[in-house]
Amino acid sequence: MDMVQMEWYLVLATVMMFCGIYGFLTRRNLLAMLISVELILNSVDINFAVFNRFLFPGQLEGVFFTIFAIGVSAAETAVAIAIIINIYRNMKNIQVKNLDKMKED
């Protein structure tokens, strides 16, 4: 069966990951930053699956890592959103630049 080259998957994942990184660097909103983190995690998941399929076809490590990573990211998202909601409750907004109250006070 004629398949797409592995490198293309990797390039795609890389582009996605750096999109996430750029978003993490430049977004001003905590939730938007979290979305960027999701992009990064996703790209890594793709990489795991691709490596497993193309390089170690007889084994399952990549698949399981992907599953676990999805679980961990779900957990992380839950906690992060809880924190963000708590911040919102205290400060009435979730802009990054306002999160320096601990610096001086």
Partner 1 sequence: MGYTIFILLLPLLSFLLLGLCGNFMKPKAAGITGTLSTAAVTMLSYFTAFRYFSAGRGADGIFPTLMPYNFRWLPFNDTLGIDMGVMLDPIAVMMLVVISTVSLMVHIYSFGYMKGEKGFQRYYAFLSLFTMAMLGLVVATNIFQMYVFWELVGVSSYLLIGFYYTKPAAIAASKKAFIVTRFADLGFLIGILIYGYYAGTFGFTPEASRLMSAGMMIPLALGLMFVGGAGKSAMFPLHIWLPDAMEGPTPVSALIHAATMVVAGVYLVARMFPLFVGYAPDLLPWIAYIGAFTALYAAVVACVQSDIKRVLAFSTISQIGFMMVALGVCTSTDPHDGGLGYMASMFHLFTHAMFKALLFLGAGSIIHAVHSNEMSAMGGLRKYMPLTHITFLVACLAIAGIWPFSGFFSKDEILAASFGFSPVMGWVMTAVAGLTAFYMFRLYFGIFWGTENRELHAAHRPKESPLNMTLPLVFLALVTCIAGFIPFGDFVSSDGQAYHIHIDPAIAAVSLTVSLCAIGLATWMYARDRQPVTDMLASKFSVLHKAAYNRFYIDSIWLFITKKVIFRCISAPVAWFDRHVIDGFFNLCGKAAAWLSEKIRPMQNSNIQQYTIWYLAGAVVLVLILLF
Partner 2 sequence: MTLQTIVFIILAVVICVCSVLAITTKRILRSATYLLFVLFATAGIYFQLNYSFLGAVQLLIYAGGITILYVFSILLTSSEGDKAEPLKTGKMIAGLVSTLAGLAICLFVIIKHKFFPSVFQTGELEVRTIGEALMGTDKFQYLLPFEVISILLLACIVGGIMIARKR
90 contributes a contact to partner 1 by CB under 8 A: no
Which of 33, 94 has the CB closer to partner 1?
A: 33
Q: Which of residues 41-60 bind partner 2 (CB under 8 A)?
A: 42, 45-46, 49-50, 53-55, 57-60
Report the distance separating Cα 89 and Cα 81, nearest Å: 12
Q: Which two tokens stand for residue 17?
A: 């990951």
11 contributes a contact to partner 2 by CB under 8 A: yes
Question: Which residue among 3, 5, 92, 100 contacts partner 1 (CB under 8 A)?
Answer: 100
14 contributes a contact to partner 1 by CB under 8 A: no
Nearest to 51 by CA among 42, 41, 37, 61: 61
Q: Which two tokens stand for residue 24?
A: 């993490």
Least spacing, CB of residue 103 vs partner 2, in Å: 18
Report the distance separating Cα 20 and Cα 24, nearest Å: 6
